[in-house]
Amino acid sequence: MSAVLSRWLVPWLLLVVLCLPQAPARAEEIAGTLGAVGSDTMAGLMLRWGEALTRQHPGIRLQLQASGSASAPPALVAGTTRLGPMSRPMNEAERRAFIERHGYPPRELAVARDALVVVVHRHNPLESLGRRELDAIFSDSRRCGAREGIQRWRQLGLDRPEGRIRLHGRNAASGTQGLFRRIALCDGHFRPEINEYPGSAAVVAAVAEDPRAIGYAGLNHLTPGVKALARRDASGTRHFPDPEAVRRGDYALSRDLYLYLNLPPGESLPAAERAFLDLVLSPAGQAIVEELGFVALPEARRLRQRRGLALDETGR
């Protein structure tokens, strides 16, 4: 038995071993698992990028753990991942913790544009809200300067819908809630009666079923059941959250989506990460961004970041 085995097996094994070193040289094959920990807003985006990457390089798999932006920095600090998608920039404490551990700052890459939309029921006649009105609706601190709180639709000059405004939003500690607090509430305090949901889709669903509701959610979660409101600036100009206004930042509730890398200065990217970022910052990668309802980066920024990572000029 063992004689048969060795007689047949050994030559085959030898053949396989001999062939191995040649295989990567032929197709420039990269293999491995790419781990990422972070934002749930970007989960769909990361997965689609991961799929596209596997199509280009069948050996690479992206393994994503999407438990919120706040989970990315601890994972990067602990070294359990080298890739942290975040829907907000790292704050000072998170950055400091990273530098303390690794001795150099994390590498920040903007990979897409996103916006928060304020949504109402599709039959609600409201079209736009000013900065102070929005703050007066969602906060009871009114740090943006409104004189009194707004709790009823009547106070917005509407006779329909009747009654009180019902508030919906994201949960505490989410990147989305933090951004809304910073920009729309001028760092103020949310009203305690605001309903909190662990995802933007749930917020939109709750608003879509209730004519008296208002809520905020990520741009990519818009459905036909809700209407996104325009934001009036100080001069009274209305800015709708359309792709152009989000890309240029005219719509004030827009933001960048980031990837944070653990990349020691002077070192070049490992092959798998390099392939991933090459894809993300390519026209194809940005097309996936648009497909999922986010907004692609401005072309100049995309190219600048490619140069920064020493990727070839345009991407495939």
Site residues, other proteins (CB under 8 A):
67-71, 73-74, 94, 140-143, 162-164, 166, 171-174, 177-178, 181-182, 187-190, 192-198, 205-206, 209-210, 213
Distance in Å, CB of 255 to other proteins, minimum? 17
Task: Please give the C-alpha separations between residue 111 and each of 85, 89, 197, 255, 281, in angstroms, as whole numbers.
Answer: 9, 12, 26, 11, 7
Smallest distance, other proteins to C-beta of residue 181, A: 7
Task: Centre a 10 Å sphere on the Cβ of residue 37 and count the other Cβ atoms it contains.
Answer: 23
Question: Please, what is the minimum distance in Å from the beta carbon of residue 71 to other proteins?
Answer: 6
Cβ contacts of 3 within 8 Å, gap of 6 or more: none
Cβ proximity to other proteins: between 163 and 308 the closer is 163
Judged by CB, which is closer to other proteins: 6, or 91? 91
Beta bridge partners of 13: none
CB nearer other proteins, residue 230 or residue 253: 253
Q: Cα Rg for the chain, rounded, in angstroms?
A: 24
Sequence-ordered list of residues with C-beta below 8 angstroms from that of 159, at least 6 positions apart, any chain? none
- What is the smallest separation between the CB atom of 191 and other proteins, expressed in angstroms? 9
Rounded to a whole number of angstroms, the minimum distance from the CB of residue 190 to other proteins is 7
Q: Residue 185 or 280: which CB sits closer to other proteins?
A: 185
Measured CA distances, 219 to 135, 146, 208, 233, 261 (Å):
19, 26, 15, 19, 25
- Return the number of the residue (167 or 295) whose C-beta is nearest other proteins: 167
Buried b (16+ CB within 10 A) or exposed e, 82-121: bbbbbbbbbeeebbebbeeeeeeebbbbbbbbbbbbbbbb
- The minimum distance between CB 174 and other proteins, in angstroms, equals 6
Nearer to other proteins, 196 or 250 (CB): 196
Q: How far is the CB of 93 from other proteins (least distance, A)?
A: 8
Residue (of 296, 279, 305) closest to 51 by Cα position: 279
* Least distance to other proteins, CB of residue 262, Å: 17
Q: Work out the number of other CB atoms within 10 angstroms of the CB of residue 75.
A: 21
Q: Are the C-beta atoms of 79 and 261 separated by less than 8 Å?
A: no
- Residue 66: CB minimum distance to other proteins, A: 10
H helices present in the chain, as ranges? 2-19, 22-27, 43-56, 72-78, 92-102, 131-138, 175-183, 200-208, 243-248, 271-280, 283-291, 299-308
Which residue's CB is nearer to other proteins, number 71 or number 220?
A: 71
The residue (of 164 and 316) whose beta carbon lies closer to other proteins is 164
Q: Map residue 100 onto helix, strand or coil.
A: helix
CB-neighbour burial class of residue 169 (10 A; exposed 0-12, middle 13-18, buried 19+): buried
Nearer to other proteins, 6 or 195 (CB): 195
